[in-house]
């Protein structure tokens, strides 16, 4: 829904009032401990929404971008989309008897992901082509929705969408209630996230930016389809993130949240703009409730971000210290 800019200030009180009475998420940022990180977020939002303040930002420019893997949901022991691909290889194996003798599939089918991925980019390309391409976009959406509804995480046994971070859901909601438009900007596949992003995060497909493969428009038996081709189109990671933001959103965000050095340029681009800006890094410090990893991790490596956050004024959120609750599926305290 599109609302004229001048109308928004008059609508907001009603929207906030309605949100408060719905109380879907409890109070704002309820799962955040009362630490410096939470205070910094609230101070920023109050500052940019306070009309007449020198830091006031008109609603149309309140763009907030969020990485997905490791920022909105977990990413261990490997990216969930890779686990999806592995499940697809198993499901498709009966139609591909030749996979038993050819890498990377032979190792994958034996459960040896490490050997399978030792083939590097070529191996990943073959897995993507076999599991993500060759079907129409509608068929792929159906496959993703079925998987997301039935698959279980290998360690927690939970549905993957239960492994989204409750404090981040509250942050998304808090920003939207204050007139922000929230976007996902992820290295993950754009079409892998879109089918469920609205239900899980309240973020509609048109506000999801991600990596993509090429597609082609065809008319088959009089019915138009968009077909997914086994060729990379765009990688929305590192320097690709500002490019993806610019291509899809067309203006610079004022708020960015990530968790790894793949988000460094997105945070840099966002916070280098003029006026008030907020950069947030989710630091995985909680080996008990989630995972603890950063500088040396093979997934979600965070090194440059940790080193430069202080001088760049970015807020580093420690899962262990700043979050009262981690997963949406955990009981509220």
Q: Can you give the binding site for a copy of itself, defined by CB under 8 A?
A: 1-8, 10-11, 14-15, 18-19, 22, 24, 59-60, 62-63, 137, 176, 179-182, 190-191, 194, 198, 202-208, 212, 215-217, 219, 223-224, 226, 239-240, 242-243, 246-251, 265, 268-269, 272
- Which of residues 8 and 106 has its CB atom nearest to a copy of itself in the complex? 8
What minimum distance in Å lies between the beta carbon of 4 and a copy of itself?
6
A 10 A CB-CB count for 195 gives 19
What minimum distance in Å lies between the beta carbon of 216 and a copy of itself?
8
What minimum distance in Å lies between the beta carbon of 10 and a copy of itself?
6
- Which of residues 76 and 211 has its CB atom nearest to a copy of itself in the complex? 211
What minimum distance in Å lies between the beta carbon of 324 and a copy of itself?
24
- Which of residues 112 and 307 has its CB atom nearest to a copy of itself in the complex? 307
- Which of residues 25 and 291 has its CB atom nearest to a copy of itself in the complex? 25
Contact 301, 69 (CB under 8 A): no
What minimum distance in Å lies between the beta carbon of 240 and a copy of itself?
8
- Which of residues 92 and 272 has its CB atom nearest to a copy of itself in the complex? 272
What minimum distance in Å lies between the beta carbon of 109 and a copy of itself?
32
Contact 210, 184 (CB under 8 A): yes
What minimum distance in Å lies between the beta carbon of 184 and a copy of itself?
11
Contact 295, 303 (CB under 8 A): yes
A 10 A CB-CB count for 44 gives 19
- Which of residues 18 and 43 has its CB atom nearest to a copy of itself in the complex? 18
What minimum distance in Å lies between the beta carbon of 2 and a copy of itself?
5
- Which of residues 47 and 238 has its CB atom nearest to a copy of itself in the complex? 238
- Which of residues 40 and 249 has its CB atom nearest to a copy of itself in the complex? 249
């Amino acid at each position: 829904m599109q609302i004229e800019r001048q109308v928004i200030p008059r609508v907001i009180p009603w929207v906030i009032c309605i949100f408060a009475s719905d109380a879907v998420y409890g109070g704002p940022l309820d799962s955040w401990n009362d630490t410096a990180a939470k205070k910094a977020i609230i101070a920023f939002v109050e500052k940019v929404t306070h009309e007449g303040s020198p830091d006031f930002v008109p609603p149309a420019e309140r763009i907030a971008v969020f990485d997905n893997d490791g920022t909105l949901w977990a990413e261990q022991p490997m990216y969930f989309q890779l686990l999806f691909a592995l499940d697809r290889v198993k499901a498709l194996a009966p139609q591909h008897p030749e996979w038993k003798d050819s890498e990377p599939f032979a190792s994958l089918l034996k459960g040896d992901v490490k050997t399978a991925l030792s083939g590097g980019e070529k191996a990943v390309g073959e897995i993507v082509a076999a599991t993500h391409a060759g079907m129409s976009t509608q068929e792929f959406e159906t496959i993703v929705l079925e998987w997301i509804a039935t698959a279980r995480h290998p360690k927690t046994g939970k549905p993957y969408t239960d492994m989204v971070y409750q404090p981040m859901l509250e942050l998304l909601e808090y920003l939207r209630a204050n007139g922000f438009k929230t976007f996902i900007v992820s290295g993950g596949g754009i079409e892998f996230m879109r089918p469920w992003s609205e239900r899980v995060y309240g973020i509609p497909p048109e506000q999801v930016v991600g990596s993509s493969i090429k597609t082609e428009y065809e008319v088959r038996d009089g019915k138009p389809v968009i077909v997914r081709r086994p060729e990379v189109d765009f990688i929305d990671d590192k320097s690709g993130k500002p490019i993806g933001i610019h291509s899809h959103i067309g203006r610079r965000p004022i708020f960015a949240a990530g968790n790894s050095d793949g988000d460094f340029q997105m945070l840099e681009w966002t916070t280098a703009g003029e006026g008030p800006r907020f950069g947030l890094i989710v630091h995985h410090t909680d080996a008990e409730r989630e995972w603890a990893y950063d500088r040396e991790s093979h997934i979600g490596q965070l090194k440059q971000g940790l080193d430069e956050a202080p001088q760049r004024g970015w807020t580093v959120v420690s899962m262990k210290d700043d979050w009262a609750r981690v997963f949406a599926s955990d009981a509220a305290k």
